[in-house]
Structure 1
């Protein structure tokens, strides 16, 4: 396949590009600098500038672009950047597809489990309703922008959980664990939806040839609490665990970012992926953490 990727330089995008090229797909990259190779094409999503004829030359579009949620604090200005970076990129791609004489067959757009909000005790699938909060509203607008793609284009919005890889949420968590400074965050009983970087990328590739459309949860099949996840992380780097981070401290220092990223409880199930026959290489959080720790050691 010929696949156009936005956000190909990030943690997920870099791994995805390598795996696609290893499978002999052709990957074209949208970049914001001058092209450095024949596979790079300049665009400016903020200004809605893109060569729409690119869409006539590719079979699929994958959009992973967006300002990092891990950048703290979430000031009012940065919240706007988080929102704009997602909506502008998605709308620019959807507009270009509609302008093309022949649109791509599939559009896979990044999304997030933040759609569900804080839902303690609930089993959350793609059929679950929207929650509340900044991330829930963000994801709702983000997915709505993706649905502006042409009717003939199959649109998939991948609601990812915490991706266990070199970067993202693991960038601060792994060093803290290695220093022996990790422990329960709040009560620790909140569910953290997680997925290994390996399975995140494998699921996206699976969806290129699938018939699935609409929202798809990209999370591991075995739910775990924050306490269980962080305890396993400390154990695998052979460090003590138990230094608590009280909820009040999270509230005061991180405010809504802390509430939505660290304290929200989301027992999310990858119902569509499992029904579609996708097999997870890392079915439990300990498997994902072991893969990360082994990779970091190399």
Structure 2
């Protein structure tokens, strides 16, 4: 296939592009600013609503991973606006551009997040569970609505991604704190943190390219893990203690809504649609995912 990727330089985008090319696909990428003098890069400016005229022509699939990092804190009012605009503008531009084509791409895999479900203590959730409350839930809804602007001929999948277990990204603070003997217990520790290994995130996206599924798909590990399970997995793998408490009140006071949403929200989530579609996880437990992340050369 010819696949166009937005967000190719990010945590997920880099290994995804490499894996797709290793499978023999032609992968072109969208870049901000001037594109390199090759046919593998196309310039775009989502905030200005501009994309190279021939970027989408002949593409079989588009994978959209654009968006400012949610793991960067604090979420000031200005950064919240960036979190929204960086996702909505990019997704809308791709979807509306496809809608103008006589022969649009057959598949559009567009980024999304498990923040859709909000804080749902003691509730078992899956792909079809209703939207929760809060800034992230509202952001994800608007993000997915932008993807839905794609033409009817295009199969649209919104990738409701969990926190990716890797050396960098959302799990980096947990790894670094633990590595330097500052391993913490976040809040009560009983809240569920949806997670997925970086390898399985990439493999799931490639799996969905060849699937017939449409709509929202949860990308998460098949074994739910609490915050205590996650921090303990890092402590065990790094052979470090986990003794510093981070009380709920301190997290809320110091990190505001970002601390609540990233560290305290309780989301016990099962990737039902992905499992039913025949996907097999390489790292089915949080311990497997942590070991794989720490052994990675990236």
Could you tell me which residue of structure 1 aligns to residue 288 of structure 2? Answer: 287
C-alpha contact 1:51 1:96 (8 A) present in aligned 2:
no
C-alpha contact 2:126 2:269 (8 A) present in aligned 1:
yes
Q: Distance in 2 between matches of 1:55 and 1:10?
A: 21
Q: Distance in 1 between matches of 2:168 and 2:242?
A: 22
Alignment of 1:90-105 (within 5 A): 90-105=91-106
Could you tell me which residue of structure 2 aligns to residue 167 of structure 1? Answer: 168
Q: Distance in 2 between matches of 1:208 and 1:147?
A: 17
**1:115-147: per-residue Cα shift (whole Å, max 9, x none)?**
000001111111100000000000000000000
Report the 3-state secondary structure (helix = DSSP H, G, I; strand = E; otherwise coil) of the residue aligned with 1:43: strand
Could you tell me which residue of structure 2 aligns to residue 22 of structure 1? Answer: 22
Q: Distance in 2 between matches of 1:216 and 1:64?
A: 15
Residues 74-83 or 165-174, more deviating: 165-174
Could you tell me which residue of structure 2 aligns to residue 79 of structure 1? Answer: 80
Aligned pair 1:220/2:224, yes or no?
A: no
**1:27-66: per-residue Cα shift (whole Å, max 9, x none)?**
1000002112320000000000013443221100000000
Q: Distance in 2 between matches of 1:170 and 1:194?
A: 9
**Unpaired segments of 5 or more residues in structure 2?**
none
Q: TM-score, normalised by structure 1?
A: 0.98
C-alpha contact 2:166 2:294 (8 A) present in aligned 1:
no
Aligned pair 1:208/2:204, yes or no?
A: no
Alignment of 1:224-243 (within 5 A): 224-243=225-244
Report the 3-state secondary structure (helix = DSSP H, G, I; strand = E; otherwise coil) of the residue aligned with 2:217: strand
Alignment of 1:34-113 (within 5 A): 34-36=34-36, 37-113=38-114
Q: Distance in 2 between matches of 1:55 and 1:217?
A: 26
Q: Distance in 1 between matches of 2:186 and 2:172?
A: 16
**Unpaired segments of 5 or more residues in structure 1?**
none
C-alpha contact 2:167 2:294 (8 A) present in aligned 1:
no
Shift of 1:285: 0.5
Aligned residues: 297
Q: Distance in 2 between matches of 1:178 and 1:69?
A: 23
**1:43-92: per-residue Cα shift (whole Å, max 9, x none)?**
00000001344322110000000000111110001000000000000000
Q: CA RMSD in A?
A: 1.0
Shift of 1:169: 0.8
C-alpha contact 1:55 1:102 (8 A) present in aligned 2:
no
C-alpha contact 1:52 1:96 (8 A) present in aligned 2:
no
C-alpha contact 2:2 2:26 (8 A) present in aligned 1:
yes
Q: Distance in 2 between matches of 1:96 and 1:285?
A: 39
Could you tell me which residue of structure 2 aligns to residue 6 of structure 1? Answer: 6
C-alpha contact 2:62 2:107 (8 A) present in aligned 1:
yes
Shift of 1:173: 1.6
Shift of 1:95: 1.0
Report the 3-state secondary structure (helix = DSSP H, G, I; strand = E; otherwise coil) of the residue aligned with 2:109: strand
Q: Distance in 2 between matches of 1:275 and 1:38?
A: 38
Q: Distance in 1 between matches of 2:172 and 2:28?
A: 28
Report the 3-state secondary structure (helix = DSSP H, G, I; strand = E; otherwise coil) of the residue aligned with 1:114: helix
Q: Distance in 1 between matches of 2:168 and 2:153?
A: 35
